[in-house]
Structure 1
Amino acid sequence: MGNCCSGNANEGEIQMKHGPNYQKLNTMLFDDREVLGLKGQDKMKIIIRIQALFRGALSRRRVEQRYGFKIKTMGGHSYGVNTPNYSNLKVQEIKERLGPFKYGNSTDNDGVKRKKRALITLENGARYEGEWNEETNKRDGKGYQIWADGSLYEGYWKNDKANGRGRLIHADGDVYEGDWKDDKAHGYGKYMHTDGAQYEGQWKEDKQHGHGKETWPDGACYEGDYVDGKKDGHGKFKWADGSTYEGQFSDNNIHGRGVYIWADNRCYDGQWMNNKMHGKGVFTWADGRRYEGDYFDDKKQGRGVFIWPDGRKYDGEWYNGKQHGEGIYHTSKQEVKKGEWKEGKRISNRFVDSITKDFTDNLRNLNERDVELDHLKTTVIALNEKVEVIRDLEQDVVNAQGVSQDSEKKRVELQIHIKETSIRIQQTSVENKTFQDSVINENTRLQEECKKLREAVVQKEKQLIDTVNRLEREKMDIKSQLEKEKMDQQLRYEALLSERDTKIKWQTEIILQLQQKVLEQEQIIRLNADIADQLKIQLALNRQQDEQKKKLQKELETASDYILALEDKVYKANKTSLELLRQLKDAEIEIETLKNYIIELKQRIAVYIPMKDDVIDKRLAEFINNYPDRQKLKIMFMRESEGVYQFGSKRVAVRVDKDKINIRVGGGYLSIDEFLDQYTPAELEKMERKDPLKKFSEKIAIQKTLVGKELRENSPIRGGGSPTQSPTRSPTRKAQ
């Protein structure tokens, strides 16, 4: 972010005055020498682009890292570890360092009956010690739990889940302390990583949600809004190097309106999009420079105003971080100049005239003429030395021509070698004809390339000779006009000579490169011969593969016959399976009919007739009527009111939980099977002690019930009797 706002000169900002060093650098960067396929200004563009990308990558990386804040949840613990480690030393050390957990507000007055129990091992392998709900038999209240990996939770529970305030120490050392809801961080809490990073703020379903603050070990800090675990909304981020950002975030990215201040006091105040400056904004530098205008994809683009500390100002159009289009330039003397810029440079001649005028004014102010003449004489001596250098270069050119002639001889030898190679290739078999044609085409292409290389060498030699002649003429002109030229002419000729020296060196390098290419072409021809030998070997391998292919085809035909036989068997087996399925379906229909018939028979011989509007009584009647061993039902249930029955001498409460009948006498609830097994023998013994005839009376009551309609018409419920009595009450008790 802000990678194009460093304020350096290579951004394309206007630089109206340049010294000799800049001229030399400019000549070196914008000459015609080709480097990796690039010439002139293309090299500078690539350099600027690489610098911009590098700065942008470093800047954006700091935000996109997000400092790796990962949150572990309670549900992430492994219950099935091979070797339990309940006494995790790391967890115990952290527990001692943090101190005892403070429960805070008590839940003793919420009306729930709780009982503290000793340490037990749960089904999932975890161990729990604390309070339980006596009615629901679930963890409820204060308690702590240790998982098999040593993770420790201490706090409040409700319905077998962490609810309320609590502290969880993970096996790897991470700690969360705060509010919980159904085993998830929910409310206000603090999460601490083992590496020192921590978050303190609001949570929702195990994710950062609301206002919070994150800090990292290197000193970085973020405080602001979160949504669903990500920075979203208004916030302030401070990096370890001192850079800060305050403004809008979206999906963990800088997005919206905000102010970014770099460690070197650069500042951008404006619009952002995905961690990049995008939209209207103001960028200021520590030295007083200021830009106000449009940004696009982290670069100045659109309309903008750039102001320098010395009063210079550019007001106009920008593109890709540079002045591009129409604009107005104000000099430090408040002169206004209109013009057109292209990639950071003014393309109007008035710009050159202005520079020439300023340079001429400076020359008029020189008073020491004698010093100037001495300097000119020194320059003459230096030029004479450069003339000697030029003569040495001419000798180098002659040597280069000799090298070129040697290259030409090698080229001729190469052509002869190519022709001989072509003749050998044409003598190969007809099977290799396709390969021969490709080799001939390759040789033709190589000849054309050699021809082009020879022409390029000749052209470069001509250019070199022309350059040397031009330098000689310029040297004579310099001698004739030396007394008339001023300091500006001396600088210009020095730059020109430096440029010519660079071109001569560059052309020498080109010749060496051409020689290297000739050597590479010779190596390619040798490789072609090796390829021909490899082709013969490959053809022999192809013949072997054809023979193997024929064998495989025969085996495939045999396998096809075998597959057809298997498909016929499968068809017959499927047909038999369909017949069996049809018979099975008929049997299932018959079984269903018999089941319905059995149910109908059971309804006809009902022992207990329930109340119509009493769900519990209906469920009890269904249990009694469908009980397989009715000999055990020697004592019947007599209904007194909804959910209240008389069983022998005991008055019991009956309820239905999840389609199961539970009965309570005085303590907790028992299932109806447990109740009958436990209390039926005792009640029978009491009845036998009190009245030996009761057993006989109960049998009479059952017989009367089986009579059917007559007994049902006389039932207290269906007749006009008390609705609190059961239709199967014992006659003897009814008489009482």
Structure 2
Amino acid sequence: MKRFKKKRWLIAFIVFCVMGCVAIMPTPSDTSKPAKVEKVQSLNGKYGGKIASLEEDVHSDKFTFDSGDSYDGKWSKKVIQGKGKYTYKDLGVYEGNFKKGKRSGKGTFIWNDQSIYVGQWKNDKINGKGEYIFADGGQLKGTFKNNVFNKGKYTLTQNDVTYKYNIKKGLLTNQIEIAYANHGNYKGTYEGNKLTGTGTFTYNNSDNYFGSITEGKKQGTGTYTWASGAKYIGNWENDMMNGTGTYYYTMDKSSSLEGNFSNNVPNGECIYKKSSTEKYKTYWENGNCVKVEGYKDE
């Protein structure tokens, strides 16, 4: 758990290039049978139903543009309104809700490269809660504002390791969550491409560490709790108990060893507390107790 891979291109400013869909307002040349019609923008196409339907408040059918784009769904007279499917010839497919010819409400856009967005839209842009899945499997989940990812998490899985970057106001923060398939997980801060700052390691055997971390190693002050309930609170160096600290033998902290530790074992003089009323001064060498003396609080 010493390092993690950082995506070279980050998603601090993700802008999605989604083509605007304008209101389709064909002008019929014949109101009695299916016929070729024109959009206001002078782009030709063909309405699949009767042209007279374009005067109805609610109707459904397909309109195919000469450009190769097409729309199949609900209309309100001459304007796309309600649920439908719009296919962009060289971009992708949107399926969802429209309001006055614009994507609004809940909808799904699938790009030609198989990137996918599922979520809320407003005024033809991605706005609100949603999830964007990149072609490489990376995911943005949270809130969007005018096609820009604003707040949430970016998730990527590589080599059985899952990374979750935290994003606020469109920018990466220094917070990350990492799940290792065979080791456990980490939640805390990072700098560059290394775990540094403050964080929590939770291991597959249910052991837990919370405290200072430098380049993926326990460094500084921290607390390690074993699955058995035993706990060490104190100083760390190079991923091991080094310096002053207290080791508690049980979950209720009724017995403990307080003093100096070196490379994960007691070293030198330590106070052994057997109970609230019984204490001893002990001396240790290479993790072995070599001398015990009576102790009185001064």
TM-score scaled by length of structure 2: 0.58
Q: Structure 1 residue 70: deviation in Å?
A: 0.7
Equivalent position SS for 1:60: coil
Identify unmatched segments of 5+ residues in structure 2: 245-259, 267-284, 287-298
Equivalent position SS for 1:200: strand
Equivalent position SS for 2:31: strand
**1:58 alignment partner, one of 1, 5, 9:** 9
Q: In the alignment, which residue of structure 2 is the partner of 1:145?
A: 37
Q: In the alignment, which residue of structure 1 is the partner of 2:54?
A: 157
- The structure with the greater share of residues assigned to helix is 1
Q: Structure 1 residue 286: deviation in Å?
A: 1.6
Whether the 8 Å CA contact 1:257–1:271 is kept in 2: the answer is yes
| 1:213 pairs with 2:108 | yes
CA RMSD of aligned residues (A): 5.1
In 2 relative to 1, CA 72–224 (structure 1 residues): closer, same or farther, beyond 3 Å?
closer
| 1:130 pairs with 2:79 | no
1:189-200 equivalence runs, <5 A: 189-195=84-90, 197-200=92-95
- The structure with the greater share of residues assigned to strand is 2
Q: In the alignment, which residue of structure 1 is the partner of 2:142?
A: 248
Equivalent position SS for 1:130: coil
| Partner Cα separation in structure 2 for residue 157 and residue 186 of structure 1 | 12
Deviations 1:36-60 (A, max 9, x none): xxxxxxxxxxxxxxx74xx2x4352
In 2 relative to 1, CA 300–202 (structure 1 residues): closer, same or farther, beyond 3 Å?
farther
1:271-290 equivalence runs, <5 A: 272-274=167-169, 278=173, 282-290=177-185
| Partner Cα separation in structure 1 for residue 27 and residue 123 of structure 2 | 32
Whether the 8 Å CA contact 1:315–1:329 is kept in 2: the answer is yes
Whether the 8 Å CA contact 1:259–1:267 is kept in 2: the answer is no
Q: Structure 1 residue 231: deviation in Å?
A: 2.7
**1:354 alignment partner, one of 263, 266, 271:** 263
Whether the 8 Å CA contact 1:284–1:290 is kept in 2: the answer is yes
Q: Structure 1 residue 225: deviation in Å?
A: 1.9
In 2 relative to 1, CA 143–273 (structure 1 residues): closer, same or farther, beyond 3 Å?
same
Whether the 8 Å CA contact 1:143–1:157 is kept in 2: the answer is no
| Partner Cα separation in structure 1 for residue 24 and residue 240 of structure 2 | 66
Amino acid at match of 2:14: E
1:27-426 equivalence runs, <5 A: 52=6, 55=7, 57-60=8-11, 64=14, 66=16, 68-73=17-22, 128-131=28-31, 144-146=36-38, 151-154=44-47, 155=49, 156-158=53-55, 164-181=59-76, 183-195=78-90, 197-244=92-139, 247-251=141-145, 252-256=147-151, 260=155, 262=157, 264-267=159-162, 272-274=167-169, 278=173, 282-293=177-188, 303-309=198-204, 313-317=208-212, 326-329=221-224, 336=232, 338-339=234-235, 353-354=262-263
In 2 relative to 1, CA 303–226 (structure 1 residues): closer, same or farther, beyond 3 Å?
same
Whether the 8 Å CA contact 1:242–1:263 is kept in 2: the answer is no
Whether the 8 Å CA contact 2:242–2:263 is kept in 1: the answer is no
In 2 relative to 1, CA 279–158 (structure 1 residues): closer, same or farther, beyond 3 Å?
farther
In 2 relative to 1, CA 235–322 (structure 1 residues): closer, same or farther, beyond 3 Å?
farther
Equivalent position SS for 1:70: coil
Amino acid at match of 1:129: S
Whether the 8 Å CA contact 1:244–1:262 is kept in 2: the answer is no
| Partner Cα separation in structure 2 for residue 298 and residue 226 of structure 1 | 34
| Partner Cα separation in structure 2 for residue 340 and residue 309 of structure 1 | 21
Whether the 8 Å CA contact 1:305–1:313 is kept in 2: the answer is yes
In 2 relative to 1, CA 255–65 (structure 1 residues): closer, same or farther, beyond 3 Å?
closer
| Partner Cα separation in structure 2 for residue 241 and residue 188 of structure 1 | 29
Equivalent position SS for 2:105: strand
Q: Structure 1 residue 203: deviation in Å?
A: 1.0
Whether the 8 Å CA contact 2:15–2:148 is kept in 1: the answer is no
Task: Indicate the percent of aligned positions where both proteins have the same amino acid.
Answer: 18
Whether the 8 Å CA contact 1:255–1:273 is kept in 2: the answer is yes
| Partner Cα separation in structure 1 for residue 188 and residue 97 of structure 2 | 38
Amino acid at match of 1:152: G
1:492-503 equivalence runs, <5 A: none
Alignment: residue pair count: 247
In 2 relative to 1, CA 325–274 (structure 1 residues): closer, same or farther, beyond 3 Å?
farther
Equivalent position SS for 2:112: coil
Q: Structure 1 residue 202: deviation in Å?
A: 0.3
Deviations 1:107-136 (A, max 9, x none): xxxxxxxxxxxxxxxxxxx9843228xxxx
In 2 relative to 1, CA 59–325 (structure 1 residues): closer, same or farther, beyond 3 Å?
same
In 2 relative to 1, CA 179–279 (structure 1 residues): closer, same or farther, beyond 3 Å?
farther
Q: Structure 1 residue 315: deviation in Å?
A: 0.9
In 2 relative to 1, CA 269–230 (structure 1 residues): closer, same or farther, beyond 3 Å?
same
1:386-535 equivalence runs, <5 A: none
Amino acid at match of 1:176: Y
| Partner Cα separation in structure 1 for residue 59 and residue 82 of structure 2 | 9
| Partner Cα separation in structure 2 for residue 254 and residue 317 of structure 1 | 31
| Partner Cα separation in structure 1 for residue 89 and residue 129 of structure 2 | 28
Whether the 8 Å CA contact 1:189–1:201 is kept in 2: the answer is yes
In 2 relative to 1, CA 298–257 (structure 1 residues): closer, same or farther, beyond 3 Å?
farther
Which of the pair has more CA radius of gyration? 1
Q: Structure 1 residue 210: deviation in Å?
A: 0.7
| Partner Cα separation in structure 2 for residue 324 and residue 229 of structure 1 | 50
Equivalent position SS for 2:20: coil
Q: In the alignment, which residue of structure 1 is the partner of 2:275?
A: none
| Partner Cα separation in structure 1 for residue 102 and residue 192 of structure 2 | 32
| Partner Cα separation in structure 2 for residue 330 and residue 354 of structure 1 | 17
Deviations 1:590-636 (A, max 9, x none): xxxxxxxxxxxxxxxxxxxxxxxxxxxxxxxxxxxxxxxxxxxxxxx
